Amino acid sequence: MSSLVLILLTGIGLGALYFLVASGLSLIYGLMHVLNFAHGAFLTLSAFVGWQVAQALGTGSWGSFLASILVGAVVGAVFATVTELVLIRPLYERHIEQVLVTVGLSFAAVALFEGIWGTDAINISGPVWLRGTTEVLGAKIPNTYWVLMVAAAIVLAALVLFLRKTRYGMIIRAGVENRAMVTALGIDVRRSFTLVFAIGGAAAGIGGVLAMHYSTFVSAHLGSTLLIFAFIVTVIGGLGSLAGAAIASVLVAVLQQFANFYLDGTGDFIVVALLAVVLLVRPRGLLGRAA
């Protein structure tokens, strides 16, 4: 029983991390049809800068932890906005080239991060509580998972509120639904492109700082590993669907943890197998619209 609870809760926690990365990817793809390979680079840069901030403020305190998350979100948002304005916008409507540019950016960024912060993973430390565990129904859950869950829940709630209640959120939803119509109604959709990139970058930034605490180290390749799982999650959830991304990230992560525990560490394969099954049975993903 206790191992079941452990797997379930750590699965949800890991899913929360996937969601933080995948939510931005899914929104960006839904609105702009851009597969953003540079998302991993946003995440990694935020993690490094967040780490630097935490180092400067003293790693043990909650204040520095929160500050590093905040700074991570801002760094991710700024990096993403600049990327959109400088690299994506000039290639408007040329989807393949847009993908290629983000590939080039992630390629260059990882090399640059290695140049600045070294090729080795840097061990990090945070508030002492994060290293501890909390007992739930006899299962000892590492505390980082709770933080991940809370962060993802806040991001999800904020995103839903933003998309449902604000004017820009409405434009974005309408743009995902039918971009030509929104443009025809005289609304500049391109402004919401930048906005979506900024939001996605901020979510990835939060995810980056938390991923660093989750894996207790930061390296230039932190983002690329997570990015692949985020891709899988967005495809399974249905490209462009935020709810699909949320459901799929929890599903994928719980399944992964189960396989890692009961099937001798085969979690990664189970996830890819799940992807293959979803593609064979339902190519548009769980909540994706028919193409």
Partner 1 sequence: MTLTTGIPTLVRGRKGAYLPFIAGGALVVLMAVLPLLNISLPGILPGATYTPGTLALLSLCMVFAALALSYNLLLGTAGMLSFGHALYFGAGAYGLGIALKYLGVPLWPGIFIALLGGLAIALVTGAVAMRVSGIPFAMVTLAFAQAGSVLVRRNQQVTGGEEGMRLPVAQVPEWLVGVVNTRNLYWFTLVVVVLVYLIVLWVDRSRLGHLAEAARENELRVRVLGLRPYVAKLIVFLVAAGCASLAGIAYMLLQSGTQPSAVGADLTITVLVMVVLGGVGFRWGAIVGGVLYTLLDQRLTVLARSEWISDLPDVLRIPLSEPLFLLGVLFILVVMFLPGGIAGTIDGAVRRRRGERTRAQLARLDDAEQAAPEQVEVRA
Where do contacts with partner 1 occur on this chain (CB under 8 A)?
29, 33, 35, 87, 90-91, 94-97, 99-101, 103-105, 107-112, 114-116, 178, 180-181, 184, 224, 228, 231-232, 234-235, 239, 265, 268-269, 271-272, 275-276, 279-280, 283
Three-state SS at 145 = helix
- What CA–CA distance (Å, rounded) separates 86 from 107? 17
Min CB(39)–partner 1 separation in Å: 12
Min CB(213)–partner 1 separation in Å: 24
Min CB(204)–partner 1 separation in Å: 17
* φ, ψ for residue 265, nearest 5 deg: 65, 30
Please choose, from the candidates 167, 169, 162, 189, the residue with its C-alpha nearest in 3D space to the C-alpha of residue 178. Answer: 189
Beta-carbon contacts of 279 under 8 Å, excluding residues fewer than 6 positions away, are 235
Min CB(63)–partner 1 separation in Å: 30
Three-state SS at 242 = helix
Q: Per the structure block, which two tokens stand in for 247?
A: 């459901």
Q: State which residue, 25 or 151, has the beta carbon closest to partner 1.
A: 25
Min CB(260)–partner 1 separation in Å: 12
Q: How far is residue 216 CA from its own chain's centroid?
A: 18
Q: State which residue, 108 or 128, has the beta carbon closest to partner 1.
A: 108
Q: State which residue, 141 or 275, has the beta carbon closest to partner 1.
A: 275
